[in-house]
Amino acid sequence: MTSRRDEDLGGMVAALQNQVAELTQRLDDQTPSATDAPAALRFPTVEAWVTGLFLPMFGWRVDGQRWHWCPQWWRHAEAIWRLELLWRSWEVSRLAATGMSAWSVEVDRHIHELLGDDGPFRQCRAADDDRAARHTELQPATAAAAPDGWWE
């Protein structure tokens, strides 16, 4: 014979099990499943992005005086880093409703560092009608090793 108290406890357990099942279902609905594929990249590589978007959009700035470009941009570590950063952030930003607004601030900041007078291409030049292209490797700074125990 079950008591009223046992029935009340049984009802409470059943109600809690239903709440747990409902909350679990809500979490499952919000969590991406393993079968959800990430959004496809518009440009599969940084090189495709540079030639397909960056140069058509920003290459007009290159004048060899204030703005510099190197046709062998992929030989400049800083350029690779900045262009890779811009490509990857562009891929993410293009999917957000207002993502391009934030990306424009990012590209405006990096373009001065990349193409400007002090950028990695400052001693390089693209070919034009009367001059051949020039690529100049800039030597990185050196660093002395810290004395023993310095970092302890």
Please choose, from the candidates 83, 95, 94, the residue with its C-alpha nearest in 3D space to the C-alpha of residue 48: 83
Residue 67 in contact with residue 126, Cβ under 8 Å? no
- Per-residue pLDDT averaged across 79-94, rounded? 96
Residue 64 in contact with residue 128, Cβ under 8 Å? yes
pLDDT of 31 strictly over 60: no
For the four alpha carbons of 83, 87, 88 and 93, in that order, the dihedral sign comes to positive
- d(CA 44, CA 119) in angstroms, rounded, equals 26
- d(CA 68, CA 86) in angstroms, rounded, equals 18
Residue 109 in contact with residue 82, Cβ under 8 Å? no
pLDDT of 32 strictly over 70: no
pLDDT of 105 strictly over 90: yes
Q: How confident is the model at residue 28 (pLDDT cuts 50, 70, 90)?
A: low
Q: Which pTM does this prediction carry?
A: 0.66
Burial class (CB in 10 A: 0-12, 13-18, 19+), 121: buried
Name the DSSP letter for residue 37.
Answer: P
What does R_g of the chain's alpha carbons equal in angstroms? Answer: 28
**pLDDT above 70 coverage of the chain, percent:** 91
Residue 53 has a pLDDT of 95
